[in-house]
Each structure stands twice: as C-alpha cells, then as structure tokens.
Amino acid sequence: MAGCRLLGMTDLRKTVERFWATAAAREWDAFADTLAEDVVYELPQTRERISGRERYVQFNREYPGDWRLRIERIVAEPGQVVTWTHFTVGLEEMYAVSFFTGDESGRISTVTATCR
C-alpha cells in the first residue's frame, strides 16, 4: 500500500522488550515512551478496556501488590509481537499471553492480554 510502512519485526520486538523491562523496573516515564498516545489495552476475559497512554500508565502504576514479572517467551512477526509472561504477587502466580501491535512511530498501539 502506498504511503504505509509496516513496523518491522525487530523494531516492535525491541519496543515490547523495553515495555516489559520498564514495567518491571517501575520506570513509568520510560514505560510511557513505548506507548502510542491513543494506545488501547484490552482484557477480553474481564471485558476491561483502557484507552490512552496516561490512563494505561496509571493503571500499571497503581496495580496493587508487590508484583514481579518474568518473560517466558517472545514471538515476533511483522506488525505483531506475542509474549508469554509469568507474574507473581506475593504467593500468587499467574501467566499471561499478550498480543501487541505497533504504529508507524514504533510505539505500541494495542495490547490484548489474557491471564490465567
């Protein structure tokens, strides 16, 4: 398509790796830099939907508990990255699969996550 640039696989993968690293470090300004201004975060199983960079950063900043995360696996293809992550909050453990898409600026435009 004329005028469209598909975000490269390695570019989006690096952005997603930075997304998780800055979230884990609670570096919220750097975390915000990985997100498009109009990012949309969805959790289909709970029907939650958060729109906009500021609201999504606030959601993560205020998430309760002393949570920790570990990336188990990353799969990347042009325009989409999927991660499998392990989270702990105290003694509680959960896994999440997250689907990321990017915009032409190299930032994350959508995140769809499911936890178990």
Buried b (16+ CB within 10 A) or exposed e, 90-110: eeeeeebebebbbbeeebbbb
Distance CA 45, CA 115 (A): 8
Distance CA 90, CA 59 (A): 19
| pLDDT of 36 over the 80 cut | yes
Q: Which residue has the higher pLDDT, 3 or 20?
A: 20
Q: Report pLDDT for 49.
A: 97
- Tell me which of 2-6, 14-18, 111-115 is least confident: 2-6
- What domains appear along the chain, each with residue ranges and CATH number? 9-115 (3.10.450.50)
Find the mean pLDDT for residues 31-55.
97
Contact 107, 36 (CB under 8 A): yes
Arithmetic mean of pLDDT over the chain: 91
The length of the chain in residues reads 116
Q: Report pLDDT for 21.
A: 98
| pLDDT of 10 over the 90 cut | no
Q: Give the pTM.
A: 0.88
Rounded to 10 degrees, what is the CA torsion of 29, 31, 33, 34?
180
Distance CA 52, CA 1 (A): 27
